[in-house]
Structure 1
């Protein structure tokens, strides 16, 4: 008996015609997104365009303050004035320090949450989530008590002989920013570490790699996306913080945001405040672009 007589014939699979394929439902998708687009346009895009328009006006106290115009006078004042340039660099430095300190603190914390004992995970997650459940004002006032001259931290520094002031200094502002925005970094790293295939780390360990080298060569590259997302969230929110620099800085540690607040409220100089806001927004867009470029290069 021939072998081909025992083999059943395989029916030919014909591709479905294009007309028979189900529609992609693009119209339905846009209808579902329509409410969100309306909210986005009314709550973000239009006010932002209004602020951009204000930044092109002039300020003249003799004429009642804001004078409609199409002028770059406010932007020239921002970049030509040494005070505002110093505010930009100080804001950038505080946000960068907050991000770097958060990375150093949150990697061990995220590893303990994802790799530690189950009983410990719940406690650590509570530690991560608690700052998000408390108002920024309450947290900042709490730190103002701890960092004051009679506070525990300041007294501990005085006992060691270190002449370092905490309250109303960049150090105190950085401490408050780290405590406020560190959870964004922690949650991003926890999600990234939880998605790692542990067998890759076990394979590296079985081949004789020490723990630090396993982390540097295996774990860290697989958490680049989470690290980048957490860094951007921490950096952007730190740059746009108002309450923490205002209260812990005590008027001695000014940032772009505190300058915007002062110009818009006390000075009633809306064009200058709007120009500072646009500059802050441009810096944010630059950081987002650099983050996307860094992730693309690291993952390719």
Structure 2
């Protein structure tokens, strides 16, 4: 009996095993589909992780590369600007014009390129080209102070073309962009002095330019001194055209020349030209000729050297 019962239990057990639901009580090796699914999930997770890591690595590399490229471009632009400025100080405008080409961003023109190119063309007397370059650069310039510098140079080029109403409008634009810069008022005064009209207003504008630049800050002392010196020379011309006070004129010029020094030839020529115009208004031909001569000597290829040559 016992053996018979044992045999029935073994048969019943095998029968229950055959009726069991898939996966219940069955070894893992008997379910290859589950094993395959598990592996696929694992490999998919690994692929996602690898993709994320690669993406992060590429992003980091791009950031580093962009930063290095920006630094390299910044160094190149700084060197180019130094080269342009050095040539300008010597009155070598052709060299400065060539060096300005390095201010491009590849083949693209930049605000700095258009400004420096326009400025050098202005000094060379190529006023139409100067105007075109400066106008092209204005929309590219985002900094208000630098936009004022562009406007000042453009207005000066228009003044040399005797396009006085346009010059006044652009000098006024410069004043709105940078109201704390006396050069804007100085330019408006000079436009009137060049025409020999509205002389009391020219004197008032010239005095205002000096007042503004006497209290100016935020720049290197050399630049501030030079700007004030230019203002004082125009004020001397304006005083000569109005009251003719010789004592005040000579006092203004005595202050102006040491402020500018002799490092920047175009500025030195500018001061001598304006001093010459002051003495011309006073009717002192000897001093007029002497200052015009020194303007030509300081900057023979530049704008004020040419103006002095015409006036002498």
Same fold, TM exceeding 0.5? no
Q: Which has the higher contact order (CA 8 A, sep 6+)?
A: 1
- Normalising by structure 2, we get a TM-score of 0.25
Going by fraction, where is helix more abundant, 1 or 2? 2
- Normalising by structure 1, we get a TM-score of 0.25
